[in-house]
A = this chain, B = another copy of it.
Amino acid sequence: MQPGTTEEHCSIAATLGVIGDRWSLLILRDVFRGNHRFSVIQSDLGIAKNLLADRLTQLIDDEILEKVLYCERPARYEYRLTAKGADLSALLIALMKWGDRWHSDGEPPTVLVHRECGTPLELHVACPHCDAPVRPGQIRSLNQATTEEMTTH
């Protein structure tokens, strides 16, 4: 689907190859929020049923979701995140935070809080050495083969 230079050599392209279509991340958002059932996700997103079925099997093939039996008779399954799927939380948070900052008028529609203390969470790019928040302009991108710069100017 993507030309040769991207998928193999770039983790961003690889990730987009897995969850980069128009529905997967919205489905995953629903599962994160606790909508684990086919019919609930379908009516919440307004997605066509065959499309939802397709995306779900794809996400299961990619080991991002798994089917869990929640009712023996009749056999009913629901969709749960695997460890790999749960690890997408930072990505979903990044999407949400950016939307909050640039595409919401007033209050953000949803707030993520720490389960233990109820404090709204933050997302940081951090340098383990300098122990300070890192701004976009202070990021440098090192390619293993060549040496490319990551600039924000």
On A, residues with C-beta under 8 Å from B are 2-6, 8-16, 18, 20-22, 25-26, 29, 32-34, 44-47, 80-81, 84, 86-104, 107-130, 134, 136-144, 148-153
Contact = CB atoms under 8 A, between A and B. Distances in A.
- Secondary structure call for the A interface: mixed
A34 B151 contact: yes
Contacts of A118: 140
A15 B142 contact: no
B12 A111 contact: no
Given A20-B25, A144-B109, A96 B130 contact: no
A11 B99 contact: yes
A34 B150 contact: yes
